[in-house]
Structure 1
Amino acid sequence: MTDTNGRDVPDRVTRRRLLAGAGAAGAAGLAGCFGGDGGGTPTDGADTGAGGTDTASPTPTPGGRLSFAQTKSPLDLDPMQANDVPSLQVVERLFDSLYTYSEGTALVPQLAAGEPEVSKDATRYVVELRDDVTFQNGTPITAEDVKYSFLAPGREETSNGSEFTMVDSITEVDDRAVQFDLKYPFGPFRHKLAWSPVPKEHRENNKKAFNKNPVGSGPFTLESFTEGQSVELSTWEDYHGKQPVLDGVTFAPVEEPTTRVTTLRNGEHDIVQTIPPKLYSAVQNQEGASVEEREGLGYYYLSFNCNEGPTADPKVREAIDYAVSMDEAVKNYVEPAGKRLTAPMPDSVTEPWGFPTDEWEQIPHDKDLDEAQRLLDEAGVPTDYSWKIIVPPDDKREQIGISVGNSLQELGYTNVSVTRLDWGAFLDKYATGKESDYNMYTLGWVDEVDPDGYLYYLFHESEEGSTNGCYYENDEVMTQLEQARRTADHAERKRLYTDAVTSILEDRAHLPVYNLKNSFGVKDYVEGFRPHTVAKVNPRVAGQETVSLNK
């Protein structure tokens, strides 16, 4: 879920993919392809197009401390626990992963020595570690650490515990190689390998302390962290990768968007995250600053209660589609910070897969109140029915809910409520499937560059009440979603997903609405910063995009 401030996960949800609050939620195993044999898709991970400008400097200015304004304070610095974007943005500087993101969403080895070896019909993956990598306490990163780090979230029932349920066993081949055996050929498994090992022995000594004072393997070490205040990082001089040019990075939480933009203007921060639609021009017109942006991985939507009440009838859901113009709502309340979506996945997923988006764009209806009224009358919805729309604490999604409510009032329904709830109350209500709690809700989702991460968790019946609050019923779609995740054959997965999405859109379990850009206000003296599609990667300050300050 997200807001005018951005996107982020609430205090805790079942899966970190829910987009909430104020800092792009983004997280779960985002990736592209490695190439080679086995699972994955030939086009997964293709560059989805650069946003912003390439400001990389051939001779970066050494030294200096970058100040980055986040939309919220991090909560956790332990990769086993962290599942909100503010936390993950810091974790990404402290910890390297087996694989990380290059340009666009393609995976490249980081701690791994090369591509995974895939065999046994894509149910076995063997990853070999580089022999020169250590944690920041000087201990080597071993296969035992990797095995521990993939098992710990599930064993400890953390918020990331469901990330690896497809794994049957993990074996230490030797000190430098790890073997993953899957329960079935899981199409998106390569995405799961973008995971950060932690030092088993050190973490086991005191997990609580590790969460606030971790020992990582990345380009920066932790100087200090107090929740709600700044996080201070310093360059790790013995880093095994490309050394950062900066001396350090400060992450500072500034939740109010206008205040955040003001701190950019007065030079308090060098980069500020997430520019709301109404403040785009203010940043663009700032002397010595600009907006840098790139399309993100979010999917924002209007969902229906398909379990109880009038919206359990497909005719009523189609009537709502006729009643409201989502094109107009996105134009008024989301642009230029985002764009209209007509599929239940962002373009960064649909385009590399070559899905028939032109056909899917024809499914949503133009506004037609007469046709909406005809379908509502046909469905027998009385004019005194009390409609309940719930929305999270986010201006953009609230405006989408209000647009729907206004359209129902245009049709003569006077009992229409659009209720803005705090995250705790919202998450409690949207998952119940009860007519007394809601008929419709607005929400958001972010996941991997793979359809499974969107379609399975948002529409499959096994996720009802967890990540899926619509209780959608369609046996054929359920079978298609299940089959698609249990094969590594790209052509077959594409066919299954194409059929499933077409049915989902025609049944109108959701009305797709928009995607948001990963947007930043950046001072002109910041050299080499390029926004990334994957929210948690921002700001990448070492490695391929080396950020420097030329004040």
Structure 2
Amino acid sequence: MRKKVLPLLLALALAVLSACGGGSRDGGQAAAPEPVITIAVSGDPTTLDPHKSFNGFVFTVTNQIYETLLFRAADGSLQPRLATEWTPVDETTWEFKLREGVKFSDGTPFNAEAVKFSLERLADPETKGPGAFIVGMIEEITAVDEHTVRIRTRTPFAPLLAHLSHPVTAIVSPTAATSGDLSKNPVGTGPFLLEDWKAGDSITLKANPDYWGGKPRLERVVLRVIPEAGTQLTELKAGTVDLITGVQPERFAEIDSDPQLSATKFLGWGSMFLGFNMKAGPLAQPEVRQAIAMAIDRQGIVETLRQGMAQFGNALVPPTVFGSVPDLAGPAYDPEGAKALLAQAGVATPLTLTLNTYEGAETQQIAQAIQAQLSQIGIDLQVVVTDYGAFAEAIAQDDHGLWLSSWGTVTMDADYTLWALLHSQQHGADNKAFYANPQVDAWLAEARRTTDDAERQALYRQVQEQVMADLPYLNLYYPLSSYAKNDRLQGEVYPFSAINLDLRRAEVK
């Protein structure tokens, strides 16, 4: 009997191991890791309709579900996504060949009519999309045939291709957009689908089995809302989170030295700047703005406070962006000269000014540093820190003072930033400085019209040199983009910022 019992017990043991997934740490066959990752995000999206928001928390999710005609590769080049080819027809018209055999996740065919529908929906005032200006120059969209679309602008518009890579121009299912609610039930052509959304807690995405580029290797991606950066890091080290973004400067080396983790930093598309309301009050005086610029030790902020997680520069856009001027001269740190300038201008001190900014470790740290440095030249800076909504309302008022904010040139073309922040038509929109210079307006308009890159670059140099003379803004630095991950996650592509995270070929090992 014994010879029969042992084989039976062995067979039962093997069956139990097989049912449990099999394998062991000491030589047995290891179970394949579950293809699920968790990403920490600091805020919850307000909608999953890409046309009705202009917010990074939203685009971080929608970029996994929807796709644009073109996209920016990690090297900054424009690459095909839903469009496979594009050629100019004349100085105001581009023709796009569309990818064939693609369907939205609800089964609706992707075609020229879907492109026309989506871009017109974004531009439609009824949509109330804050990003409508991205396509505001488009005069007409024509579906030539099933897989060919032509886009005509009112006047020549050189940055059009760059604008069509912006996540707000995502192509949506016409069926779902007209008969459903994309804000809660998103339908795109992307690699992932919405599985679950627990507001304020998490969003769970699942792999799109019918994705035209092949089903992703990750079965699920969970985006957990964890507002505190310290808590995000704790969970990353504990293994309950696989990826965090915006690594704290003082913790970067600690993460990078952990054998289970990797930390990456690089220059992205962002800028951190100080804005001046030129409309009224003391800041309308050029000498006051110049003195403030001279009193701020921007290089010291980069080296000491940001600890290598930022790059100094005077231009409003970083060197990664077309139209940047990396060698642009700016005001040198000279607090004694700043005091003398205020005295020469007859400005009485102490001078009380207000600076608005929004909640966040970085903005609050920089605001406090500016406050301390301006006190050295007789300026009493009252710092007001609020949530982003209240901050946006405050700097929309005519009588606001200074403000501290970041900006991302998402299209990687300087027009996106310089037109928004500097053109006089943008008063009441993003030009919170109320800056108005007819020559700058003319240069910006000419840079949109010409398709010669050298001419555009020369015009953007003129614009930014004039800005340094007028000082509606003072660029402080370019924050480095950063993220940290558990090394079990492999194959992710992270260009520029979190909203561009590409998980199409990512996997768990």
- Do they superpose with TM above 0.5? yes
Give the SS at the match of 1:480.
Answer: helix
Task: Determine which structure has more spread, i.e. the larger CA radius of gyration.
Answer: 2
Equivalent residue for 1:424, pick from 389, 395, 415: 389
The structure showing larger relative contact order (alpha-carbon pairs under 8 Å, at least 6 residues apart) is 1
Separation in 2 of the partners of 1:416 and 1:87? 34
Question: What are the residue-to-residue correspondences of 1:280-429 with 2, within 5 Å?
Answer: 280-349=252-321, 353=323, 356-358=325-327, 360=328, 362-366=329-333, 368-413=334-379, 415-429=380-394
Distance 1:533 1:408, change over 3 A: closer
For 2:38 and 2:72, how far apart are their aligned partners in 1?
23
Q: Helix, strand or coil for the counterpart of 1:370? A: helix
For residues 491-531 of structure 1, the C-alpha deviation after alignment (integer angstroms, 9 at most, x for no partner) is 22112111110110122221111122221121122222342
Structure 1 residue 348: deviation in Å? 0.7
Q: 1:215 to 1:409 in 2, by over 3 A?
A: closer
Equivalent-residue separation in structure 2 for 1:379 and 1:494 (angstroms)? 35
Match status 1:523 vs 2:486: yes
User: Which is further off, 509-518 or 330-339?
Assistant: 330-339
Distance 1:72 1:433 in 2: 29
Question: Hey, what does 1:3 align to over in structure 2?
Answer: none
User: Are residues 210 and 421 of structure 1, via their aligned partners in 2, closer, same or farther at CA, if it must alter by over 3 Å?
Assistant: closer
Q: Distance in 2 between matches of 1:379 and 1:264?
A: 53
- Residue pair 2:114, 2:171 contacting (<8 A) in 1 also: yes
Q: Deviations over 1:60-100 (max 9, x none)?
A: x8861121111212222222224322221221221232222
Answering whether residue 463 of structure 2 is matched by residue 500 of structure 1, we say yes
The letter of the residue matching 2:351 is Y
Identify the residue that residue 68 of structure 2 maps to in structure 1.
Answer: 97
Change (3 A) 1:213 1:497: same
RMSD over aligned Cα atoms: 1.9
Provide TM-score, normalisation by structure 2: 0.88
| Cα distance per residue 1:378-426 (max 9 Å; x no partner) | 211112432222222233223333333223322234x432222332332
Deviation of residue 445 (structure 1)? 1.0
Matched, 1:259 2:225: no
In 2, the alpha carbon distance for the partners of 1:481 and 1:325 equals 30
Which residue is equivalent to 1:51? Answer: none
Residues 73, 495 of structure 2: 8 Å contact kept: no
What SS does the corresponding residue of 2:134 show, helix, strand or coil?
Answer: coil
SS in structure 1 of the partner of residue 287 of structure 2: helix
Once residues 204 and 258 of structure 1 are traced to their aligned partners in structure 2, the CA distance between those partners, rounded to angstroms, is 42
Amino acid at match of 1:126: E
Listed as ranges, the gaps of 5+ residues in structure 1 are 1-60
Within 5 A, what are the aligned runs for 1:118-157?
118-121=88-91, 123-155=92-124, 156-157=127-128
Q: Name the structure 2 match of 1:198.
A: 172
Tell me which amino acid in the other structure corresponds to 1:423. Y
Look up the match of 2:139. 168
SS at match of 1:224: strand
- Contact map agreement 2:319 2:325 (CA 8 A) in 1: no
Equivalent position amino acid for 2:172 in 1:
V
Deviations, residues 266-294 of structure 1 (Å, cap 9, x unaligned):
11011122212232233224341121223
Whole-Å separation in 1 of the counterparts to 2:225 and 2:466 = 42
Q: Secondary structure at the match of 1:472?
A: coil
In structure 2, C-alpha distance between the alignment counterparts of 1:391 and 1:124, rounded to whole Å: 41
Query: How big is the shift at 1:168?
Result: 0.5
Query: What is the Cα deviation at residue 534 of structure 1?
Result: 4.4
For 1:75, the equivalent position in structure 2 comes to 46
CA distance in structure 1 between the partners assigned to 2:182 and 2:394 by the alignment:
34
* Contact 2:195 2:205 survives alignment (8 Å): yes
Q: What is the rounded CA distance, in whole Å, between the counterparts of 1:388 and 1:487 in structure 2?
A: 40
Q: 8 Å contact 1:71–1:274 — kept in the other structure?
A: no
Task: Tell me the amino acid that sits aligned with residue 446 of structure 1.
Answer: G
Aligned to 1:35: none
Percent identity reads 28
Structure 2 unaligned residues grouped into runs of 5+ = 1-31
- Say if 2:273 and 2:475, in contact at 8 Å, map to a contact too: yes
Task: Report the Cα distance in structure 2 between the residues aligned to 1:254 and 1:295, rounded to whole angstroms.
Answer: 25
TM-score by length of 1: 0.82
Report the Cα offset of residue 110 of structure 1.
1.6
Alpha-carbon distance between aligned partners in 2 of 1:411 and 1:142, rounded to the nearest angstrom: 62
For residue 469 of structure 1, report the CA deviation from its aligned partner.
Answer: 1.0
Assess if the C-alpha contact under 8 Å between 1:433 and 1:470 holds in 2: no
